[in-house]
Structure formats: C-alpha cells, structure tokens
C-alpha cells in the first residue's frame, strides 16, 4: 500500500471547499461519502497543524538547544525534544487514519453529485500534479464538469 507523504496530506486540505456549511450538512445526511470525505478533510487539517507545530518546535530547538549539532542519541535524551517525538507519533496516527478513510471512500458509492465531486476531489488532491500531470488535469476537469452540471440542474 502506498503511504501518504506529508506533502500529499497537506495538499489534501482543500478536499471539500465547494459546499457551504449548510449545504454540506444537508448533503452529508443523504450521502455517506460526504461524511467520510469530511472526516478526511479534518484529518488533513489536523496533519497540517501538526506539521506546523513540529516545524516551529524544531526551529526553537535549533535556536535554543543546538538541535542540529546534537547526535541522534543526544537529541533523544533532550527533554524538550519529547514534544517533537509526540507530534511525530500523532502525525503517523493521522496519516494511517487518512489511508484507512481513503480505502473506505473507494468502497462506498456516492449517491449524490456532491459525493462524486468529493471523491474525485480527494483523488485529485492525493495525486501529485508533477508526477501525473495528465491524470491530475483530467480529474480537475471532471470535477469542473460535475460542478457545472450541478449548477444547471
């Protein structure tokens, strides 16, 4: 199974920006895919927060505790470093949960256009555009097509 990278997790933040909170609440009641996609979006946001906290704390350690000059053993013994290890463990739990949610999403059929858009949005956000430029553009085009069809209907 492919593992989600930090870059892909952060990129997934915009999974469901296409619905207002009221429309999302109504749509979620009618389509279980939207519940899963909302959970995925929450996990992505949480992952981004963790990455920012980790980065800020690592910078503090570098400035105040000579972090980058310490050996691995010295880093592990540093009391202030324990927060980094705790953040890292939480981030790993978050990425594993994202992978579980993605597996569930692919097995739950969308029953609304919003659900189909959400599934395609997750796929588009998970694919690195530089790695698969054509596939990424096709997904974005399909999402745009569905949004246009939804506005007409």
- CA–CA separation, 28 and 33 (whole Å): 8
Full domain range(s) for residue 69: 6-152
Residue 34 lies in a domain: yes
- Non-local (6+) Cβ contacts of 134 within 8 A are none
Q: How many domains does the structure of the chain reveal?
A: 1
Average pLDDT for 100-114? 93
Query: In the structure encoding, which two tokens stand for residue 138, read together?
Result: 């096709």
Find the mean pLDDT for residues 90-94. Answer: 97
Of residues 7 and 82, more confidence is placed in: 82
In a domain, 1, yes or no: no
* Within a domain: 59: yes
Q: Does 97 map to a domain?
A: yes
Can you give the pLDDT at residue 28? 55
Task: Give the HSE-up count for residue 116: Cα atoms under 13 Å, Cβ half-sphere.
Answer: 12
Report residue 129 as tokens.
């555009």
Higher model confidence: residue 144 or residue 10? 144
Query: Residue 26's pLDDT band (boundaries 50, 70, 90)?
Result: low
DSSP letter (8 states) at residue 130: T
- pLDDT at residue 1 is higher than 70: no
Q: Residue 126: what pLDDT?
A: 84
Q: Quick one: DSSP state of residue 18?
A: T
Mean of the per-residue pLDDT values for the chain? 85
pLDDT digits (tens, 9 = 90+) for 44-56: 999 999 999 999 9
pTM of the complete model beyond 0.95: no
CB-based burial, 26-49: b 16+ in 10 Å, e otherwise: ebbeebbbbebbbbbbebbbbbbe
């Amino acid at each position: 199974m492919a593992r989600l990278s930090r870059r892909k997790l952060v990129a997934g933040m915009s999974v469901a920006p296409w619905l207002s909170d009221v429309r999302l609440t109504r749509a979620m009641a009618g389509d279980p895919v939207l519940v899963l996609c909302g959970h995925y979006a929450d996990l992505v946001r949480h992952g981004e927060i963790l990455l920012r906290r980790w980065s800020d704390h690592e910078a503090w350690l570098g400035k105040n505790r000579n972090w980058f000059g310490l050996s691995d053993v010295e880093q592990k013994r540093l009391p202030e470093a324990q927060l980094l290890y705790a953040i890292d463990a939480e981030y790993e739990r978050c990425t594993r949960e994202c992978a579980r949610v993605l597996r569930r999403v692919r097995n739950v059929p969308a029953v609304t256009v919003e659900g189909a858009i959400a599934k395609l949005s997750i796929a588009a956000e998970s694919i690195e555009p530089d790695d698969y430029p054509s596939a990424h553009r096709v997904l974005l085009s399909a999402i745009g097509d569905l949004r246009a069809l939804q506005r007409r209907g």
